[in-house]
Structure 1
């Protein structure tokens, strides 16, 4: 209910105070007014009071004011009303009413409406219905330009997160994103994508909660925004990006149907101009590698071991479900497995979730002729030996998963320090490897046939010979890794049961 103590008249300062990101904005965190603020500032009482104040020096009859109020509220011209008020040119509102120009005609460009749908970007700009004359044509150039800029503040779209259908938005449309406290910079970048940590304003986003889903906070729903950009990309790379983008969408739609607790869920998919954008739940525990590094060793117990085994089983099962749908991940590594904790980061709780399915393959193929980046190094480390293309799909993922599971077992036994020692031994066992290259879990014999890296063989032998309360667990897990996942015979063309 509207308070009688609140100012009845809406002014520029009130509108300014309700526009998010006004003083600290960029291409991601744009200025926008939440939809709840739009309605709070355009109640019948406030609209009438503001109009009375604007036209108090003119001979406006009560009947004429009522028509203007009806135009703003019943005909849905709230955004136009706020934009003109913010510009301090509310005197133009009768021109909009006489032209029957409402919020449905927004946004506009210099020579008329951009589109019949305020969300869609039509290129070239074509009006789907007869264009109405823009009421500010013939007014001052400054007022027209000001309106063209400020109209966007009031046009942040509502995003139906229950569906993974692609939405296409105009490149200038402000998505309802709020930055994390003291940080409005990307958290990671690559040649073709950038990832931001964002809060989704609850007025514009709704998302079903689950163990691996988005989490709400006072700021909004926390999410990871991944943007693929075609800027500076042309030719085959541009065409391949579009191909992989569409394939990724199909993969995410399939994963949504599978609805597996160890596969990443998706909040929203859209295009903003030329940018292709994905919203995923934010993983407060970071990647699996970050979890290994930050884990509180005081929690080490058989319950912790049971949780670890349960997560490994879930990851394997989730990957198998993808394979049943003819989907290969292509880049299984600790950095692409995310931790959604229940008891805070660094705790053995919640779920480990496979993420980044498919798109990483595009990055690999189009950075093959560049020096290794940190992302590529992690990828190469977990790749299997070359194999027949007909068998590449599942074996590729299972080999990578075997590498991750072996590291998981080492970490359970020896902690993150022991894992770092093992990774160093991979490098030491390949003395001829150039400094800028990444060691792998396999090597070549003299006849150029692939074989397990000596450090891997030694580690598995050593773990199977250990005597400890974890012996039964270790022996079974290492046997699975050795015979089913890191089975080098599969890369000699022999069959492997997975």
Structure 2
């Protein structure tokens, strides 16, 4: 074919090396840049551009006797309008000559037209079967996608199963809702990080995989309210993009260092720190404010007689510590390397974000009903009483108020008493072994002891058939008499006890009211350090109020020494116990 075009060449520059040697060298350079990961092989875009740089493409044009004016048609000015991937594939398949390259120029086919199917691509009309097969097979090596995380819209990609993903170090970290979550490094040059993305640990992202489309679609629909061009919130998880490939569906998120559950285990609290308590209250306020946005509190929708109302009133449905992510940000909003030792003084660099919207439900503000309790999945420890009531009571947004109140109470408990107080059976307090918060909530007389926050009652004098567990009530008092319990903490405990952990959902505050109250407390903390961090314990008559569980000399639920040796003697070497 080459003799037909010699007169068309406009360049008279001498060739630097023989044509065959030149393209053999390029073949080896490209092949040496291949990456193999998880049984997939691809040529990273940055490496392709490094090999086929400006000067090399001009030399290719010279070697092939292509008109030099065609340079911009090959090198391009953007990823989507170049023919560099086509050029690389021609080199890798030994189809690199004027005729084969010019067929793409004549047909107006760019990189963004790949992958091509040999049976219906006009460009292959005069190619041999070997050439068509080789090109169609090798083209996938250069087709690892470039993900666009820009916030102008929420993107969804559909990928041919043969297209390789530009992923490294794919590591499963567990399940999130109904999807498998992995940490993954996306090859540099294959993603554009969001302009205001919440730290991504360098190039690490969270990849969530779904095997059921209905589950994927439901969560994506919920996340769409706060992702893409829609205004999100700093304390709500934002979806970067989604894609489907080989009958599986995926979501990509910013990568968090850990969840709140592990955060409590990683960090020690500093109850006397004004800065730390101010940070804690700010995080609680931020989460409530974000959830208020989910609930649509204070937003009014115009009633229309011709179109159905938009379902913009949401309910998260599964608020718990493992669904609250912790992002470590430095003062410039960038992620810190994960190999830097944890420094408790940097606790304030973390931002808490409510995540996992698998169970989120949106409805119209004019829909009368909620969700039937029996149709709702939940976390048993944090579920509200209405979940267990077989009656006409429907699940509504007050569900989130109860579950968030449970998390807040554990958060304050960790802050004042440490990790063992919220996750072990016993912890050391004032030289005594005492029951932890989960242990205080256990109804050990029951056939199935549970660490939930309420019990059902048949007391006919009560207007609602559930009450807060006595162990939870005792725990509130235990926290209030702590020497480091400041007035700010008292105010938060009052908010939780009086307006959040209220058995009757009709008696709970709206999420926006909780947000406003926490904002008031936080602003006062910023102005008044004593209000924030000076301990003002409230003394109570423990014998008259709680009997033998809380003796006055220790003011804690002391566990018999013999029981301690029998139950947790194997933990006596742990430094946090003593």
Q: How does 1:141-152 map to 2 (within 5 A)?
A: 144-152=132-140
TM-score (norm 1): 0.73
Match of residue 169, structure 1, among 147, 158, 169 = 158
After superposition, the Cα gap between the structure-2 partners of 1:389 and 1:328, relative to the gap in structure 1 and judged at 3 Å, is farther
Alpha carbons 1:426, 1:441 under 8 Å: kept: no
Match of 1:276 in 2: 249
For the pair 1:432 / 2:446, whether they are aligned, the reply is yes
For the pair 1:312 / 2:284, whether they are aligned, the reply is yes
Match of 1:194 in 2: 180
Match of 2:420 in 1: 417
Distance in 2 separating the partners of 1:299 and 1:49: 68
Match of 1:81 in 2: 87
For the pair 1:25 / 2:38, whether they are aligned, the reply is yes
Match of 1:395 in 2: 398
Alpha carbons 1:176, 1:204 under 8 Å: kept: no
Distance in 2 separating the partners of 1:225 and 1:433: 41
Query: Number of residues paired by the alignment?
Result: 425
Match of residue 139, structure 1, among 126, 129, 139 = 129
User: For 1:267-305, what per-residue CA distance to the aligned partner results, in whole angstroms no more than 9, with x for missing partners?
Assistant: 223333543322211112x11111111004579623212
For the pair 1:90 / 2:106, whether they are aligned, the reply is no
Alpha carbons 1:331, 1:400 under 8 Å: kept: yes
For the pair 1:215 / 2:219, whether they are aligned, the reply is no
SS at match of 1:330: coil
Q: How does 1:166-315 map to 2 (within 5 A)?
A: 166-172=155-161, 174=163, 177-179=166-168, 183-189=169-175, 192-210=178-196, 213-215=198-200, 217=202, 221-230=203-212, 240-241=214-215, 243-253=217-227, 257-272=230-245, 274-284=247-257, 286-297=258-269, 301-315=273-287
SS at match of 2:122: coil
Q: Which runs of 5+ in 1 are unaligned?
A: 54-61, 113-130, 231-237, 370-375
SS at match of 1:348: helix
Alpha carbons 1:339, 1:350 under 8 Å: kept: no
Distance in 2 separating the partners of 1:158 and 1:243: 23
Question: Shift of residue 155 of structure 1?
Answer: 1.9
TM-score (norm 2): 0.64
SS at match of 2:504: helix
Match of 1:373 in 2: none
Alpha carbons 2:268, 2:418 under 8 Å: kept: no
Alpha carbons 1:164, 1:269 under 8 Å: kept: no
Distance in 2 separating the partners of 1:104 and 1:253: 26
Alpha carbons 2:244, 2:250 under 8 Å: kept: yes
Alpha carbons 2:235, 2:287 under 8 Å: kept: yes
Question: Shift of residue 247 of structure 1?
Answer: 2.2
Q: How does 1:428-467 map to 2 (within 5 A)?
A: 428-434=442-448, 439-446=451-458, 449-464=465-480, 466-467=481-482
Match of 2:28 in 1: 13
Distance in 2 separating the partners of 1:157 and 1:273: 15
Alpha carbons 1:214, 1:223 under 8 Å: kept: no
Match of 1:322 in 2: 294
After superposition, the Cα gap between the structure-2 partners of 1:461 and 1:44, relative to the gap in structure 1 and judged at 3 Å, is closer
The structure that has the greater radius of gyration is 2
Match of 1:39 in 2: 49
SS at match of 1:108: coil
Question: Shift of residue 52 of structure 1?
Answer: 7.5
Which moves more between the two structures, 348-357 or 320-329?
A: 348-357
Distance in 1 separating the partners of 2:177 and 2:352: 25
Question: Shift of residue 357 of structure 1?
Answer: 4.7
SS at match of 1:259: coil
Match of 2:329 in 1: 342
RMSD of aligned Cα (Å): 3.6
Question: Shift of residue 441 of structure 1?
Answer: 1.3
SS at match of 2:314: coil
Distance in 2 separating the partners of 1:178 and 1:404: 35
For the pair 1:472 / 2:471, whether they are aligned, the reply is no
